């Protein structure tokens, strides 16, 4: 059994211990020690990383009573005394996030009567799943309460107590574990059974920022950031808002209105373009049909790349051309990845979907359709080659 040093000191970053076993595991090695400061994955918190005896620690596994397994990139000699070094920036980040979660969960419990069902500490953000649907006002109130405790810089106390006795009975969330429990307590605010790594004072968390929430399994999933992660996200948003403000020539407070205005203008412009393309499609189709050369079977094949036309416009052109008896049409965009619409007159008997399928097999992309009309996008290659291939397929189809 491993003596878990992180239970008593989350700030311990270096230690020495004897190797008790080293077992090969799929090209790696799993090492157990007499004692370890490496935190294994568990309780919603990821494992520590670092080095052990000069080897890189790739994973840390909790084998419960059997101890802690350290997955490393090379062997260590059983019986040898080795030095372990914790990746401190990663450990400290996890301490901020996990302690912040305790503050936030306690705040949701006291302010909203919302119980935390689960917690996940991710690489970019963390989430809490709550047992009830909350309003934006509820969430803001809990966020304020959690930060109030953070900024009071209260001590985060560590206790050990037998399950069902004394301090172990007044927990925010009942523990299912038996035996001695490790308790993390912020006086007059929260007491929880937890094996994770935590800060010594709430002020070290810095700030708790809720960045989003959604309904989830009949309750609410809340995403949050603490400490340095919150600072990093603030910097990211600051840069994005500043750049967008410069482009749109508005203050950050006016971004939403400016974007909404642009969306409205874009929709109006798209409608205008669509209407004009529909009007122009008939004229372009007539010109293409007039320019087309009859095939040996009497079929008139039209295939061309049209500059500046979107999918709807290409569809309008191909459809208008195929309205003429005996015509098969393939209209491509000039920009890559290319779009294509294939249409045929009823009397030609050509399968437009089969032609598109053959084009996709040759030039890639995705699409499909019906025998009378089919379309695709994502075609890569030389557009002129695509046009020639389509013409040949329609002539001999």
Decide: 182 and 198 in contact? Cβ < 8 Å: no
Do residues 317 and 198 share a domain? no
Do residues 72 and 109 share a domain? no
pLDDT value of residue 273: 77
The tokens 């005394």 sit on which residue?
Answer: 81
Do residues 389 and 347 share a domain? yes
Q: Which residue, 201, 235, 269, sits at the end of a domain? A: 235
Do residues 224 and 97 share a domain? yes
CATH number of 19's domain: 2.40.30.130
Do residues 221 and 111 share a domain? yes
Do residues 305 and 382 share a domain? yes
- Give ∠ CA 132-137-143 in degrees, rounded to 5: 85
Question: pLDDT band for position 363 (50/70/90)?
Answer: very high
pLDDT value of residue 364: 95
> What average pLDDT score do residues 175-179 get?
77
Q: 165 lies in a domain?
A: yes
Write out the residue range of the structural domain in which residue 338 sits: 281-396
d(CA 172, CA 116): 10
Give the single-character DSSP code of 112: I
- Going by C-alpha positions, the residue among 320, 356, 353, 317 that lies closest to residue 338 is 356
Q: 6: Cβ–Cβ under 8 A, 6 or more apart, which residues?
A: 12, 36, 37, 38, 39, 48, 197
pLDDT value of residue 166: 62
pLDDT at 295 over 70: no
Cα of first residue to Cα of last residue in the chain, in angstroms, is 75
Decide: 227 and 100 in contact? Cβ < 8 Å: yes
Count structural domains, the chain.
3
Do residues 181 and 61 share a domain? no
Do residues 328 and 288 share a domain? yes
pLDDT value of residue 292: 66
Q: Which residue, 68, 86, 104, sits at the end of a domain? A: 86
Question: pLDDT band for position 42 (50/70/90)?
Answer: very high
Q: 68 lies in a domain?
A: yes
Do residues 310 and 204 share a domain? no
Do residues 199 and 73 share a domain? no
Please provide the average confidence, as pLDDT, over all residues in the chain. Answer: 92
> What average pLDDT score do residues 144-162 get?
95
Do residues 118 and 63 share a domain? no
CATH number of 367's domain: 3.10.310.40
Model pLDDT for residues 195-205, shown as the tens digit of each residue: 999 999 999 99
Model pLDDT for residues 120-140, shown as the tens digit of each residue: 999 999 999 999 999 999 999
CATH number of 223's domain: 3.30.980.10
pLDDT value of residue 178: 77
> What average pLDDT score do residues 217-232 get?
97
Do residues 45 and 138 share a domain? no
pLDDT at 73 over 90: yes
Most confident of 68-82, 264-278, 313-327, 383-397: 68-82
Q: Which residue, 34, 62, 86, sits at the end of a domain? A: 86
Q: 211 lies in a domain?
A: yes
């Amino acid at each position: 059994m491993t003596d878990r040093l992180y239970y008593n000191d989350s700030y311990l970053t270096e230690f020495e211990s004897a190797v008790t076993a080293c077992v090969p595991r799929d090209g790696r090695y799993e090492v157990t020690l007499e004692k370890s400061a490496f935190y294994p994955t568990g309780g919603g918190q990821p494992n520590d990383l670092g080095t052990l005896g000069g080897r890189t620690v790739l994973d840390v596994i909790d084998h419960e009573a059997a101890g802690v397994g350290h997955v490393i990139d090379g062997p260590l000699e059983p019986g040898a005394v080795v030095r372990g070094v914790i990746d401190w920036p990663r450990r400290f980040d996890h301490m901020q996030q996990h302690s912040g979660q305790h503050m936030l969960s306690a705040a949701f419990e006291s302010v909203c009567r919302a119980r935390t069902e689960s917690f996940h500490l991710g690489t970019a953000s963390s989430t809490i799943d709550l047992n009830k649907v909350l309003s934006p006002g509820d969430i803001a109130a809990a966020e304020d309460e959690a930060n109030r405790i953070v900024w009071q810089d209260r001590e985060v106390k560590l206790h050990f107590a037998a399950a069902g006795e004394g301090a172990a009975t007044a927990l925010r969330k009942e523990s299912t574990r038996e035996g001695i429990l490790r308790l993390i307590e912020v006086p007059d605010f929260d007491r929880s059974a937890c094996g994770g790594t935590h800060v010594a004072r709430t002020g070290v968390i810095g700030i708790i920022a809720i960045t989003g929430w959604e309904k989830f399994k009949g309750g609410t999933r809340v995403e949050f950031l603490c400490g340095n992660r919150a600072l990093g996200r603030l910097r990211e948003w600051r840069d994005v808002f500043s750049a967008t403000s410069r482009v749109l020539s508005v203050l950050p407070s006016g971004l939403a209105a400016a974007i909404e205005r642009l969306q409205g203008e874009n929709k109006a412009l798209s409608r205008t373009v669509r209407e004009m393309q529909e009007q122009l499609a008939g004229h372009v189709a007539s010109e293409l049909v007039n320019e087309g050369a009859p095939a040996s079977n009497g079929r008139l094949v039209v295939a061309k790349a049209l500059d500046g036309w979107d999918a709807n416009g290409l569809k309008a052109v191909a459809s208008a051309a195929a309205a003429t008896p005996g015509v098969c049409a393939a209209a491509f965009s000039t920009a890559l990845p290319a779009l294509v619409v294939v249409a045929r007159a009823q009397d030609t008997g050509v399968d437009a979907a089969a032609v598109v399928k053959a084009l996709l097999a040759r030039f890639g992309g995705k699409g499909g359709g019906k025998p009378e009309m089919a379309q695709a996008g994502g075609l890569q290659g030389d557009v002129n080659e695509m046009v020639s291939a389509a013409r040949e397929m329609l002539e001999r189809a």
